[in-house]
């Protein structure tokens, strides 16, 4: 039935309603509700007044709108349909309407905030970002499917490649993925890992770590470490040697330099790609300075030198230049820690490999001993440089063995050097050990330094007047007496050491007294 007082009834009520809620919608939720009521004009009346309270005109319009829903109009008879359409026209009922908003229809953003609470402007921004993300996603999917064809299509040699992937496309894809990553992070809090982002790595299927429940010493890895490791495992299993793998090893090494297979893998890549060894050594220098306690670094360095040496072996100037640059770098390492065992071990290897025997090396060590006369590593290296020199020493002569081939001048020189350094700090043990080692090496009797040792001791045996400036001198004296067969004197020295001059080691001095009976 056409509403007779169509305008009057609704218009009479409408101003009241408008006065009750005149404010503009602040949030998108409110805007949503506004749209809902705009497209369902009689809904408000229905809610507030109920079917019995609504005016007949409103009621009719409300029902008509129900009949506008898909398929329902056809259920009426033709005559009723015509009347329906006439009424709808006159009442300006919207032909399509929005569904009733639900509270949770807007969802939450990455911070847990309800999107429905966004202001209208915020929401449009958000929506725009979402739209952009989806468009980028589709472009990326398109690129991926093309790219895979480009990589995997088998082309007979010399034939024209049908599927190609040009550099511009690659760059565009990189930019696209970067933007997607940012948007994803912004919108959804997605953390996209650098390797998943890089289209270079699309063809590699990472192998993530799997460990059973209840692991021991589990570490809270940062996300990028776990991801980089899964890519590393994949390329190592496939034994791929390429520049991208080199970069991957660098990444892993920066996070875990003690990984015991990645260094070997890196070396294999360097061999396979013929990377310039001096460049690699420069890179390694930086890493060494950052991780001074790591020994795999020095192992790697050794492999590099082994690999590089045949190329320069024929040119002595190149070898000398390498020796100099290595010495310089080792000096930098020694500034940080003058006793770094790995560096000293490497230095010994280098001396043998590059033939760095002789004065230059010895003087370099003398500088270190001058800086710190108690640097036992430097003393040890000196012994090696002097007594393993292939120019005059017996090859593979053991450190504790007499080597008759060593010239007497060298032995004399070393004895004098040790004595000079002992005078500087008589209680420093390093040069005393050195002195004894040199005497044994040179086949000299310990008794030849009896006077020297004696100068640090006065009135031995006289408890009140005894003066000892170096307990090591007293120890050496005991050895000298033993060598000469003067057991009682030796025992006196050891007793005085145990009683007063080195009490902490009284257990040892007792032991040594026992050993006096043995050769």
String of DSSP letters for 320-344: HHHHHHHHHHHHHHHHH-TT-HHHH
Measured in degrees and rounded to the nearest 5, phi and psi for residue 450 equal -60, -45
Residue 219 binds to another protein (criterion: CB under 8 A): yes
Reference 422, options 475, 381, 385; nearest CA is 475
Residue 508 binds to another protein (criterion: CB under 8 A): yes
Reference 381, options 425, 329, 327; nearest CA is 327
User: In the set 192, 299, 491, 495, which binds another protein (CB under 8 A)?
Assistant: 299
Q: Which are the contacts of 491, defined by CB distance < 8 A and separation ≥ 6?
A: 513, 516
Q: Which stretch binds another protein (CB under 8 A): 168-176, 190-198, 436-444, 484-492?
A: 436-444
Please state, in angstroms and rounded to a whole number, the distance separating the CA atoms of residues 204 and 202.
Answer: 6
Reference 58, options 33, 40, 72; nearest CA is 40
8 Å CB contact between 136 and 182: no
The interface with another protein within residues 341-360 (CB under 8 A) comprises 341, 344-345, 348
Q: List beta partners, residue 458.
A: 467
Please state, in angstroms and rounded to a whole number, the distance separating the CA atoms of residues 207 and 218.
Answer: 19
The nearest distance, CB 422 to another protein, in angstroms, is 13
Reading the block at residue 368, the tokens are 């270190």
Q: Which are the contacts of 428, defined by CB distance < 8 A and separation ≥ 6?
A: 373, 374, 421, 422
Residue 213 binds to another protein (criterion: CB under 8 A): yes
Reading the block at residue 413, the tokens are 């020189």
Cβ distance to another protein smaller for residue 91 or 457: 457
Residue 437 binds to another protein (criterion: CB under 8 A): yes
Measured in degrees and rounded to the nearest 5, phi and psi for residue 70 equal -55, 130
8 Å CB contact between 137 and 190: no
8 Å CB contact between 313 and 319: yes
Q: Which stretch binds another protein (CB under 8 A): 13-21, 24-32, 131-139, 501-509?
A: 501-509
Residue 256 binds to another protein (criterion: CB under 8 A): yes
How many other C-beta atoms can be found within 10 angstroms of the C-beta atom of residue 325?
Answer: 14
User: In the set 43, 139, 192, 427, which binds another protein (CB under 8 A)?
Assistant: 427
The nearest distance, CB 255 to another protein, in angstroms, is 6
The interface with another protein within residues 78-97 (CB under 8 A) comprises none
The nearest distance, CB 212 to another protein, in angstroms, is 5
Cβ distance to another protein smaller for residue 129 or 506: 506
Q: Which stretch binds another protein (CB under 8 A): 17-25, 54-62, 228-236, 319-327?
A: 228-236
Residues written for the chain: 519
How many other C-beta atoms can be found within 10 angstroms of the C-beta atom of residue 94?
Answer: 13
The nearest distance, CB 436 to another protein, in angstroms, is 8
Please state, in angstroms and rounded to a whole number, the distance separating the CA atoms of residues 102 and 108.
Answer: 14
The interface with another protein within residues 363-392 (CB under 8 A) comprises 372, 374-377, 380-381, 383-384, 387-388
The nearest distance, CB 345 to another protein, in angstroms, is 6
Residue 287 binds to another protein (criterion: CB under 8 A): no
Q: Which stretch binds another protein (CB under 8 A): 2-10, 61-69, 118-126, 498-506?
A: 498-506
Number of residues in contact with another protein under rule CB under 8 A: 80
User: In the set 5, 26, 153, 261, which binds another protein (CB under 8 A)?
Assistant: 261
Residue 462 binds to another protein (criterion: CB under 8 A): no
The nearest distance, CB 267 to another protein, in angstroms, is 10
User: In the set 85, 221, 309, 452, which binds another protein (CB under 8 A)?
Assistant: 221
The nearest distance, CB 447 to another protein, in angstroms, is 19
Distance linking the first and last C-alpha atoms of the chain: 132
Residue 257 binds to another protein (criterion: CB under 8 A): yes
User: In the set 229, 235, 281, 369, which binds another protein (CB under 8 A)?
Assistant: 229
User: In the set 471, 496, 497, 513, which binds another protein (CB under 8 A)?
Assistant: 471
Cβ distance to another protein smaller for residue 367 or 425: 425
8 Å CB contact between 477 and 446: no
The nearest distance, CB 405 to another protein, in angstroms, is 16
Reading the block at residue 58, the tokens are 């409103």
Cβ distance to another protein smaller for residue 261 or 276: 261
Please state, in angstroms and rounded to a whole number, the distance separating the CA atoms of residues 111 and 108.
Answer: 8
Q: Which stretch binds another protein (CB under 8 A): 87-95, 183-191, 430-438, 485-493?
A: 430-438
User: In the set 399, 408, 423, 424, which binds another protein (CB under 8 A)?
Assistant: 399
């Amino acid at each position: 039935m056409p509403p007779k007082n169509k305008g009057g009834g609704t218009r009479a009520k409408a101003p009241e309603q408008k006065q009750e809620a005149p404010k503009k919608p602040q949030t998108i939720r409110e805007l949503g509700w506004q749209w809902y009521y705009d497209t369902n004009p009689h809904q408000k009346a229905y809610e507030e007044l109920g079917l019995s309270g609504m005016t007949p005109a409103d009621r009719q319009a409300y029902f008509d709108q129900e009949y506008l829903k898909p398929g329902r109009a056809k259920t009426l008879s033709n005559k009723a349909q015509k009347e329906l359409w006439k009424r709808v026209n006159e009442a300006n009922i919207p032909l399509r309407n929005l569904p009733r908003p639900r509270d949770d229809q807007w969802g939450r953003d990455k911070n847990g905030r309800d999107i429905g609470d966004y202001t209208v402007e915020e929401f449009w921004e958000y929506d725009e970002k979402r739209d952009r993300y989806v468009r980028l996603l589709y472009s990326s999917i398109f690129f991926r499917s093309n790219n895979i064809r480009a990589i995997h299509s088998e082309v007979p040699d010399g034939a024209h490649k049908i599927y190609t992937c040009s550099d511009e496309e690659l760059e565009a894809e990189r930019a696209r993925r970067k933007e997607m990553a940012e948007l994803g992070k912004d919108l959804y809090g997605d953390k996209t890992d650098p390797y998943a982002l890089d289209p270079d790595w699309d063809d590699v299927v990472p192998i993530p770590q799997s460990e059973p429940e209840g692991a021991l010493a589990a570490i809270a890895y940062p996300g990028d470490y776990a991801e980089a490791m899964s890519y590393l495992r994949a390329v190592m299993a496939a034994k791929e040697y390429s520049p991208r793998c080199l970069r991957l090893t660098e990444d892993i090494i920066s996070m875990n330099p003690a990984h015991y297979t990645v260094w070997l893998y890196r070396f294999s890549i360097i061999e396979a790609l013929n990377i310039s060894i001096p460049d690699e050594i420069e890179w390694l220098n930086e890493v060494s300075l950052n991780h001074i306690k790591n020994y795999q670094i020095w192992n790697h360095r050794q492999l590099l030198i082994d690999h590089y040496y045949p190329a320069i072996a024929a040119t002595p100037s190149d070898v000398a230049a390498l020796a100099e640059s290595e010495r310089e770098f080792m000096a930098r390492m020694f500034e940080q820690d003058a006793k770094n065992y790995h560096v000293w071990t490497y230095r010994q290897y280098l001396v043998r490999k590059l033939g760095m025997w002789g004065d230059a090396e010895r003087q370099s060590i003398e500088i270190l001993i001058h800086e710190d006369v108690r640097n036992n590593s430097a003393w040890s290296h000196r012994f090696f440089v002097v007594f393993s020199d292939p120019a005059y020493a017996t090859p593979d002569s053991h450190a504790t063995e007499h080597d008759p081939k060593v010239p007497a001048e060298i032995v004399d020189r070393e004895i004098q050097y040790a004595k000079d350094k002992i005078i500087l700090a008589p209680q420093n043990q390093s040069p005393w050990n050195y002195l004894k080692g040199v005497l044994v090496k040179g086949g000299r009797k310990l008794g030849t330094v009896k006077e020297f040792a004696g100068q640090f001791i006065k009135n031995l045996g006289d408890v009140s007047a005894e003066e000892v400036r170096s307990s090591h001198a007293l120890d050496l004296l005991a050895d000298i007496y033993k060598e000469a067969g003067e057991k009682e004197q030796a025992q006196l020295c050891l007793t005085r050491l145990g009683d007063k001059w080195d009490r902490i080691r009284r257990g040892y001095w007792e032991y040594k007294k026992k050993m006096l009976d043995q050769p």
